[in-house]
């Protein structure tokens, strides 16, 4: 028998351990009870929010609108065509299935080895730059690592199956591949509370408070979207136009139905004699060029000695639904050139076009070349396309079915396309970064959107007239008429090869809206490309950050190459990489084409007198 003297301490130790375990259980039960109560409260809160929203969306079910078209982009026949071709190739299907099962076999074998404490290699790794899996749990926790790799194997299998389909029309395959990627992105385990370790941890730590706050955020975004979910990307109340952004001093010197022309105050004693005018995209507001002072391209340009004019496009309502592409050429670019001559006395300007504004500028330059009008001495393009044969994923929205859906939306809105519709389309090009990350943060983690000037600008989109937008979609995206020399404006057939002025064409490596290959093809369209008048450059980052990259930030990089070989890949292979912003390279190029220095001219020095202070009225009109 054991000695009784020895039994006491052991029993005491056992009781101590049991007490600790009992305490842990009690604490766990208390936490679980609190957690369950929080989940119940969250559910009741959700019911209340839903009830509160119903009167605003469907006040009377008997008078409810027709249900939306379940297939607005006509995907059913396209998916049917692609998958019928896949099934018709049993060897390819068998290989895909074999690869998938081999991948799962390796995954399970690795999981067993890891459970036994052995080091293993992943069966599959996320693509470089895929930020969905940044939380350590996705690598360190065996369960979540298994979930992650299982998802990657399955999603890659499905996407590869579509990508490798044979004997399919390339446009149809591209469309099906795009929406298949959207589907697999949507079903990622990161997007579901019960399979997202960050959400589970936040829910346990806050006893469900994150979900309650998330539901409040969800209700707010539903209300903001008028009954449709409009996922917030930023705090839209954190900035005020003219106070926090769009603050560069200047005056509105001219206006008409579609634009205000702003001239900015000089910040140097002398300026170049030739003015610089910038035509931004009309889908967004001009102040992407004038965010916080340290990011402002407008302030940087005035500090370099340029007399800067910028167009602030109208945010059109239904009364302007019939304004078309030719109107934006005549009352936009031509009217601005006339006004700048009156304001400065200068006959020639240097012009810049950003994104769609650059597409309009290119078309206008071809029109001017045909008319013998040489008032634009040089042209710079920021992320602007003129050859749309490789225009990227946006092409999938521009077939007949997609355009018909856009027409339906514009007709419902009285003849304009709401800016949020295009914003949603752009967000889909980077859905994990711009949609799902915000869904997780706003609705699952219950966080308030952060204040960020660039995202504030991104949310401040503008409407577009029906006639203008349909011309753009059909003539550029669907028909690529400008690049083919088949576009007619003002009775003139436009030929880009007639454009023979110096050009600076900027692109961005990670641009999803204007891919660098597409921009490069446009650079080679112009007559000046044949006699070394076109300089092509590429910046790091994407459509916005690649352009708006002040040198002081010391971010990203850019590439230069004086040659214009047949393809963008050939150009890049021989290009020289430079650290930091491309702006100094552009300034060096532009300054040589800007005339002599003169005493700095101020708004109002010429024949035109100021109408109001910058940023003007037009930019403040909300959609």
- Annotated catalytic residues are 355
Peptide bond into 615 cis (omega under 30): yes
DSSP codes, 105-160: HHHHHHHHHHHTT-----S--PPTT-GGG-STHHHHSHHHHHHHHHHHHHHHHHHH
Cβ atoms 547, 556 nearer than 8 A: no
| Tokens 């006491």 sit on residue | 8
CB contact at 8 A, 342 and 470: no
Look at strands 376-382 and 503-508 and give their pairing: parallel
Query: What are the angstrom distances between the C-alpha of 612 and each of 282, 423, 444, 508?
Result: 21, 30, 46, 35
Residue 372 bridge partners (DSSP): none
Three-class DSSP category at 251: strand
The C-alpha atoms of residue 30 and residue 28 are separated, in whole angstroms, by 5
**What would the two tokens of residue 211 be?**
């979900």
How remote is the C-alpha of 57 from its chain's centroid?
Answer: 29
Strand partners, 245: 241
Q: How are beta strands 597-599 and 270-272 bridged, if at all?
A: antiparallel
- The Cα 15–Cα 142 span in angstroms is 34
Show the CA angle centred on residue 229, arms to residues 228 and 235, nearest 5°.
130
| H/E stretch holding 218 | helix 209-224
Q: Tell me how far apart the alpha carbons of residues 50 and 39 are, in angstroms, rounded to a whole number.
A: 16
* C-alpha neighbours within 13 Å on the C-beta side of residue 365: 31
- Angle (CA) 361 366 370, round 5°: 140
R_g (Cα) of the chain, nearest Å:
29
| DSSP helix/strand/coil, 401 | helix
What is the C-alpha separation between 481 and 504, in angstroms, rounded?
Answer: 23
Q: Sort strands 416-417 and 576-579 into parallel, antiparallel or unpaired.
A: unpaired
By the 8 A CB rule, do 251 and 263 touch? yes
96 with 160: CB under 8 angstroms?
A: yes
DSSP symbols for 257-269: SSEEEEEEPP-SS
Q: DSSP states of 263-313 as a string?
A: EEPP-SSEEESS-EEEE--TTS-GGGGSSSGGG-HHHHHHHTT--EEEEEE
Q: Are 261 and 253 in contact (CB under 8 A)?
A: yes
Structure tokens given for 89: 């190739």
């Amino acid at each position: 028998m054991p000695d009784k003297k020895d039994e006491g301490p052991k029993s005491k130790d056992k009781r101590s351990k049991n007490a600790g375990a009992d305490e842990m259980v009690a604490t766990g039960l208390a936490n679980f009870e609190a957690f369950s109560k929080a989940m119940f409260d969250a559910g009741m809160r959700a019911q209340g929010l839903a009830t509160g929203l119903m009167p605003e969306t469907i006040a009377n079910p008997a008078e409810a609108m027709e249900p939306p078209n379940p297939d607005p982009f006509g995907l059913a026949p396209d998916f049917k065509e692609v998958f019928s071709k896949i099934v018709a190739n049993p060897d390819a299907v068998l290989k895909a299935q074999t690869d998938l099962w081999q991948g799962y076999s390796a995954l399970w074998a690795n999981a067993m080895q890891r459970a036994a404490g052995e080091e293993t290699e992943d069966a599959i790794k996320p693509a470089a730059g895929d930020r969905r899996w940044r939380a350590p749990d996705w690598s360190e926790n065996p369960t979540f690592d298994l979930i992650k790799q299982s998802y990657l194997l399955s999603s890659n299998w499905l996407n590869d199956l579509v990508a490798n389909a044979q004997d399919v029309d390339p446009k149809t395959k591209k469309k099906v591949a795009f929406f298949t990627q959207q589907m697999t992105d949507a079903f990622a385990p990161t997007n579901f509370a019960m399979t997202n370790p960050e959400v589970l941890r936040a829910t346990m730590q806050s006893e469900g408070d994150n979900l309650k706050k998330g539901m409040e955020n969800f209700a707010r975004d539903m209300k903001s979207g008028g009954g449709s979910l409009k996922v917030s990307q930023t705090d839209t109340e954190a900035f005020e136009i003219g106070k926090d952004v769009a603050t560069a001093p200047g005056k509105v010197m001219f206006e008409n139905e579609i634009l205000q022309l702003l001239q900015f105050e000089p910040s140097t004693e002398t300026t170049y004699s030739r003015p610089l005018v910038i035509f931004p995209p009309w889908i967004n507001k001009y102040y992407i060029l004038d965010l916080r002072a340290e990011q402002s391209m407008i302030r940087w340009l005035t500090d370099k000695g340029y007399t800067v004019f910028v167009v602030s496009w109208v945010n059109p309502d239904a009364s302007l639904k019939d304004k078309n592409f030719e109107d934006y050429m005549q009352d936009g670019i031509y009217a601005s050139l006339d006004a700048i001559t009156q304001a400065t006395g200068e006959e020639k300007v240097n012009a810049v076009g950003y994104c769609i504004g650059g597409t309009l500028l290119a078309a206008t330059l071809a029109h001017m070349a045909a008319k013998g009008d040489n008032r634009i001495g040089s042209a710079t393009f920021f992320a602007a396309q003129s050859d749309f044969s490789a225009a990227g994923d946006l092409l999938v929205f521009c077939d007949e079915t997609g355009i018909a859906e856009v027409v339906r939306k514009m007709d419902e809105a009285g003849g304009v396309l709401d800016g949020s519709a295009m914003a949603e389309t752009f967000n889909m090009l980077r859905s994990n970064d711009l949609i799902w990350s915000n869904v997780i943060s706003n609705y699952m983690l219950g966080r308030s959107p952060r204040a960020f000037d660039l995202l504030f600008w991104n949310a401040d989109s503008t409407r577009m007239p029906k006639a203008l937008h349909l011309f753009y979609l059909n003539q550029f995206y669907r028909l690529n008429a400008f690049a083919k020399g088949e576009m007619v404006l003002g009775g003139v057939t436009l030929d880009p090869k007639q454009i023979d002025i110096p050009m600076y064409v900027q692109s961005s490596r990670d641009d999803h809206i204007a891919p660098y290959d597409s921009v490069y093809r446009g650079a080679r369209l112009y007559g000046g490309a044949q006699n070394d008048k076109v300089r092509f450059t590429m910046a790091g980052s994407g459509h916005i950050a690649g352009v708006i990259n002040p040198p002081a930030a010391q971010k990203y990089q850019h590439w230069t190459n004086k040659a214009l070989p047949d393809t963008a890949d050939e150009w890049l292979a021989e290009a020289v990489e430079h650290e930091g912003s491309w702006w100094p390279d552009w300034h060096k190029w532009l300054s040589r084409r800007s005339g002599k220095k003169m005493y700095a001219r101020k708004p109002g020095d010429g024949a035109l007198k100021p109408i109001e202070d910058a940023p003007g009225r037009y930019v403040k009109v909300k959609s």
